[in-house]
């Protein structure tokens, strides 16, 4: 009798922005390793496997759970409890044990710093691993990971996935006994929807002028105020450059205080700057906005992690402006993807934008994209399976 394939549950407790693309890509990569992929998704409006792009061999619909309205440690604990319950439901429906669990986004409440690791070990009694997109410890002093990641010390945690090699050595030191796996910073590079209303409006408004774009969720880290200041400086200098803010401004994403501050900023834009902030769906719509830009602004507040907007910009061959410090600056310099500037320096920032708009340099867009493409996931999936399924 043919042995059943081992079952791995793929869990996403966030279903916004680029996370669905991450989820689908990991589903494909794990399925290619010969495991039976079963999905647990929080707050999805569409089941991942039913969208036709997952290529998972799972024959049943994913377990879809509603978001949890509580906050703090109790919210985090309820998440872990409900995930454990979903795993049991999968086992009951298949008649097979779940051999391992992979989280495509461990951040936010699952890594609540007040939740003791031993409790997680009691709740989820299956080998598990997951991606930490924004390691909180990288923000700390001394280059160590603080208690924000202490849940990763839970009994059944077998591996931690990070999306930049710079976190590898820190992770090995902070999470002893866990495999630390470096994965690509994936991006959905679907064919842009050239007829999308936003992209069409941007091109019409630009009227042949150059376009600099700030894209994605409008949050404090995006440096919107400085982007607008650069637009004012360009207007004062008589530059024929258009500045576009395209994404989603939401109190749920940005927080109430930042939401109100950004609303106020967007009420008084200069004539050469416009904002479309009712939403920018991942995939063809987002990529249409990227394609409408001549330069992509990623000069966010200096942070230690990457942004998959850089992956998109490389794929669509758009030079970028990034802020000095940390990972994106290193990546941009290594592949000559654009220019690195000090945040807040209007003279330096405007000069850099002018250079990017007129210089025709050899840039290793293809090389950077290759380092963060889905093709690299095969090795990551193999390492995950080994960590979870090894006896």
248-263 pLDDT per residue, tens: 888 877 778 888 999 9
74-91 pLDDT per residue, tens: 878 888 999 999 999 999
Q: Would the pLDDT of 109 be above 50? A: yes
* E strand segments, 62-185: 63-65, 98-103, 128-131, 157-162, 179-182
288-326 pLDDT per residue, tens: 999 999 999 999 876 656 678 999 999 999 999 999 876
- Nearest CA to 310 out of 322, 294, 323, 292 is that of 322
Tell me the H-state helices in 177-255.
Answer: 197-206, 224-236, 251-254
Residue 27 has a pLDDT of 94
Q: Do the domains 197-371 and 7-185+374-389 match in fold? A: yes
199-245 pLDDT per residue, tens: 889 989 998 899 999 999 888 888 999 999 999 999 999 999 999 99
- Could you say which architecture CATH assigns to the domain 197-371? 3-Layer(aba) Sandwich (3.40)
Q: Would the pLDDT of 55 be above 50? A: no
117-157 pLDDT per residue, tens: 899 999 999 999 998 877 655 444 334 444 456 788 889 99
Q: What percent of the chain has pLDDT over 90?
A: 49
Residue 320 has a pLDDT of 97
CB 106 within 8 A of CB 136: no
- Please, is 16 exposed, middle or buried when counting C-beta atoms within 10 Å of its C-beta (0-12, 13-18, 19+)? middle
Residue 178 has a pLDDT of 86
- Domain residue spans of the chain: 7-185+374-389, 197-371
Cα–Cα separations (whole angstroms), residue 201 to 154, 179, 266, 292: 50, 48, 18, 10
| Weakest mean pLDDT among 175-189, 220-234, 328-342 | 175-189
The CATH number assigned to the domain with range 7-185+374-389 reads 3.40.50.2000
What is the pLDDT confidence band of residue 112, given thresholds at 50, 70 and 90?
confident
21-42 pLDDT per residue, tens: 889 999 999 999 999 999 988 7
- Nearest CA to 41 out of 96, 95, 102 is that of 102
| Phi, psi of 155, rounded to the nearest 5 degrees | -55, -40
154-172 pLDDT per residue, tens: 899 999 898 877 666 666 6
């Amino acid at each position: 009798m043919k042995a059943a394939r081992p079952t791995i549950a793929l869990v996403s407790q966030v279903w916004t922005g680029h996370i669905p693309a991450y989820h689908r890509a990991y589903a494909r990569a794990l399925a290619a390793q010969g495991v039976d992929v079963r999905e647990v998704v929080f707050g999805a409006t569409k089941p991942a496997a039913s969208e036709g792009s997952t290529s998972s061999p799972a024959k049943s619909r994913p377990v879809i759970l509603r978001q949890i309205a509580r906050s703090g440690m109790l919210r985090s604990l309820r998440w872990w409890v409900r995930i454990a319950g979903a795993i049991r439901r999968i086992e009951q429906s298949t008649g097979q044990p779940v051999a391992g669990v992979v989280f495509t986004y461990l951040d936010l409440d699952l890594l609540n710093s007040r939740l003791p690791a031993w409790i997680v070990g009691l709740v989820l009694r299956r080998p598990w691993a997951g991606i930490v997109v924004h390691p909180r410890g990288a923000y700390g002093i001394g280059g160590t990971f603080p208690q924000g990641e202490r849940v990763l010390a839970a009994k059944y945690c077998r591996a931690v996935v990070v999306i930049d090699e710079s976190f590898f050595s820190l992770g090995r030191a902070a999470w002893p006994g866990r495999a630390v796996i470096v994965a690509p910073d994936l991006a959905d590079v679907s064919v842009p929807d050239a007829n999308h209303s936003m992209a069409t409006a941007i091109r019409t408004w630009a009227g042949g002028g150059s376009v600099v774009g700030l894209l994605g969720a409008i949050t404090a880290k995006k440096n919107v105020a400085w982007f607008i200041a650069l637009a004012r400086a360009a207007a004062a200098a008589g530059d024929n450059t258009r500045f576009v803010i395209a994404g989603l401004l939401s109190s749920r994403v940005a927080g109430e205080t930042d939401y109100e501050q950004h609303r106020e900023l967007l009420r008084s834009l200069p004539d050469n700057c416009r904002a479309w902030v009712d939403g920018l769906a991942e995939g063809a719509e987002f990529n249409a906005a990227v394609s409408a830009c001549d330069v992509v602004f990623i000069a966010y507040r200096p942070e230690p992690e990457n942004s998959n907007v850089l992956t998109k910009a490389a794929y669509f061959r758009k030079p970028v402006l990034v802020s000095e410090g940390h990972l994106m600056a290193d990546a941009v310099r290594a592949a000559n993807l654009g220019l690195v500037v000090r945040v807040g320096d209007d003279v330096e920032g405007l000069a850099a934008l002018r250079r990017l708009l007129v210089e025709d340099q050899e840039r290793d867009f293809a090389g950077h994209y290759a380092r963060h493409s889905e093709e690299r996931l095969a090795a990551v999936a193999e390492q995950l399976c080994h960590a979870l399924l090894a006896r």
